[in-house]
Amino acid sequence: MNREIITIENGIVHLPQSNNIWMTQYELAKLFECFVAKVNSNVRSILKIGVLDERAVCRTYYYKNGGSVEKYNLEMIIALSFRINSHKAKIFREWLMRKAITNTVSQQILKGIEWNNAELLN
């Protein structure tokens, strides 16, 4: 299965234009510059409280030698970014918020709705 991962280099988030983003706990720890144990405990917490459906956000891949690895989709990656307190997680959260605001503003401008810029800056 071909899949892609998110990277952050020099403060710039690189998000593939693919819908096939799945990352292992090791890759997530590298992305957010934290320990794998932190990723693991936060994944368990998110799944335990039922915020996300494990069947939708997690896949288990089995190796020929009998080993396995869990991979998580973009929805889980976003949820983790709001639970992990690291510099790279902060960069990713800020990038997400800029994208959300920019897309919302762009959509509203296209619809002809006026915005109060002072409110947007607060």
Which has the higher per-residue pLDDT, 106 or 121? 106
Question: Would you state the pLDDT for residue 17?
Answer: 84
Which has the higher per-residue pLDDT, 76 or 116? 76
The length of the chain, given as a count of residues: 122
Q: What is the pLDDT of residues 2-56, one digit of tens each?
A: 789 999 999 999 998 888 899 999 999 999 999 999 999 999 999 999 999 999 9
Residue range 86-111: mean pLDDT, rounded:
81
Residue 60 has pLDDT above 90, yes or no: yes
Distance between CA 22 and CA 3 in Å, rounded?
A: 6
Q: What is the pLDDT of residues 68-89, one digit of tens each?
A: 999 999 999 999 999 999 999 9
Residue 114 has pLDDT above 60, yes or no: no
Question: Would you state the pLDDT for residue 104?
Answer: 65
Single pTM value for the model: 0.81
> Which range, 87-91, 94-98, 106-110, 112-116, has the best average confidence (pLDDT)?
87-91
Distance between CA 73 and CA 84 in Å, rounded?
A: 16
Longest dimension (CA), the chain: 60
Cβ proximity of 47 and 41 under 8 Å = no
